[in-house]
Structure 1
Amino acid sequence: MESFEKNYNRALRFLSFRLRSEKEIRNYFQKHKVELSVAEKIIEKLKKYRFLNDEDFAKLWIESRLKHKLRSISLIRRELLLKGIDKEIIDVQISNFQFSISNELENAQKLIRKRIERYKDLPRQEIYQKLGRFLASKGFNWDTIKKSIDEVLEEKV
């Protein structure tokens, strides 16, 4: 029983930093060599008290990544899949945000505006390449990248 209480408190401490997915908790227990039966009981208790809920986790992750980190939908989807969130949950949560192509274009343009001053002395082609690679690393597709770079550079002219 001591093992249960100790590991339950350890899980709560782990969750106190930010919400986690069920897979993250399972990996945490595995890393700390928690017995599987104890880990399962703890996970059930965490779910019962809604400390562990993949739907809530996905919703908050999407909101954070769209509004604060300015990530693309495709990158957010990949991140959630890596965190063990079910594809159906991801699809539902993304559709709840009613995120459109224009929002993604806006996010790409915000990122460009933050970064473009670094490249002001470079030739236009090199600016395109650097910004293109940067936006690609944030998960934006090439259509969005090209359109957003074109629009921001037109503003600067």
Structure 2
Amino acid sequence: MDNFGKFYNRALKFLSFRPRSEKEIRDYLELKTKNLKLKTKDETIDSIIKKLKEHRFLNDEEFARLWIESRLKYKPRSISLIKRELLLKGVDKDVIDAQISNLQFTISNELENAQKLIIRKIERYKDLSKQEIYQKLGRFLAGKGFNWDTIKKSIDESLGKKV
């Protein structure tokens, strides 16, 4: 099997686990071809990516949409943290912004996500004082990328305080 076929199959296998961004595939193929002395390594990688796009196995817009939906549903976190994750995966900022606007994400969704996380966490802190709970939940939500206003509102509502 020629190098193209070999690495195309590796890329397909890599894609079979979950959707990937173009940068993730490119980085993976560069890692796998690092030890090879291929003169046309970059051309081979480019042609593999082109073929994956032609067969619709690789699409950054679809990847961003699926990533955002998955993160919001299964691992609630702030939209700013999701944006950062996608940028690290090599998705263009305009693509990310377009996908977020398509999902009509609002501040109330952000507050709702923070409250979902609090509900999961608050049982662990039932023996602590309200101030300690507030501090622990605040640090936890800050680690998930939520801004201070969202953190304060969601904790206040969860602890029964008036906002």
Equivalenced residue count is: 155
Match of 2:124 in 1: 118
Normalising to structure 2: TM-score of the pair? Answer: 0.92
CA distance in structure 2 between the partners assigned to 1:152 and 1:21 by the alignment: 37
Where do 1:1-150 residues align within 5 Å?
2-33=2-33, 35-150=41-156
The superposition leaves residues 33-91 of structure 1 with CA deviations (integer Å, 9 ceiling, x where unpaired) of: 26211111100000111101000000000000111111110000000000000010000
Matches of 2:154 and 2:142, distance apart in 1: 12
In the alignment, structure 2 segments of 5+ residues that lack a partner are 35-40
Q: What's the % identity of the aligned pairs?
A: 72
Equivalents in 1 of 2:29, 2:100: separation in Å?
29
Q: Which runs of 4+ in 1 moved over 6 A?
A: none
Q: TM-score, normalised by structure 1?
A: 0.96
> CA offset at residue 114 of structure 1?
0.8
Q: Post-superposition shift, 1:30?
A: 1.2
* In 1, Cα distance between equivalents of 2:115 and 2:65: 24
- The one-letter code of the counterpart of 2:29 is F
CA RMSD, Structure 1 to Structure 2 (Å): 1.1
**Counterpart Cα distance in 2 of 1:65 and 1:18:** 13
Instruction: Measure, in 1, the Cα distance between the counterparts of 2:46 and 2:91.
Output: 18
Tell me the distance in 2 between the aligned counterparts of 1:121 and 1:150.
Answer: 18
Q: Which piece of structure 1 moves more, 79-88 or 146-155?
A: 146-155
